[in-house]
Amino acid sequence: MPVNCQKNINMKIYQHALQLKERKRGFHLITTEVLQALPQISEINTGICQVFIQHTSASLTINENADPTVRKDFEMFFNKAVPENDPDYQHDNEGPDDMPAHLKAALLGSSVTIPISNGRLALGTWQGIYLCEHRNYGHRRNLIVTAWGG
């Protein structure tokens, strides 16, 4: 049986397109930018926030938000797991980082979903939203942030 289940007849839905500035390859915390893009999250007592990236060579994930060495280790791990210049890759039109970027994005995913509780993202104490830029020279990245609840 659900705990603290509430019937919600005053559903609110908010959505905002967010364009992130160009970033170098790596894992970048964007939690603050997401919250600034959709301040209406504070109006939702119980709900969900979905952050979706509209690209195939960058991704999103949730992880450690305090120690920057975690982000460096993520980059190191993914570079070892999905190396550039693999002679078996056929898709390399945009350079040696092209296909590895697509593979890394497929492994991590294009969206994250976070509960909203009492007008705040219900992230854990040490959690943050990462933009995972997999290209050597990142581009501006477009996100759609949607929040709903009551």
Q: pLDDT per residue over 100-128, tens digit each?
A: 999 999 999 999 999 999 999 999 999 99
- Is the pLDDT confidence value at 1 over 80? no
81-102 per-residue burial string, b: 16 or more CB within 10 A, e: under 16? ebeeeeeeeeeeeeeebbbbbb
> Residue 2 above 80 pLDDT?
no
pLDDT at residue 141, as a whole number: 98
Q: Is residue 9 predicted with pLDDT exceeding 80?
A: no
**Environment class of residue 75 by beta-carbon count within 10 Å: exposed (0-12), middle (13-18) or buried (19+)?**
middle
pTM for the model stands at 0.92
Q: For residues 78-88, give the mean pLDDT.
A: 95
Q: If pLDDT is split at 50, 70 and 90, which confidence band does 93 have?
A: confident
Q: Residue 8 pLDDT > 60, yes or no? A: no
pLDDT tier for residue 92 given thresholds of 50, 70 and 90: confident
% the chain with pLDDT above 70: 94
- The yes/no answer on whether domain 24-142 falls in CATH 2.30.40.10 is no
Closest by CA position to 59, among listed 132, 6, 8: 132
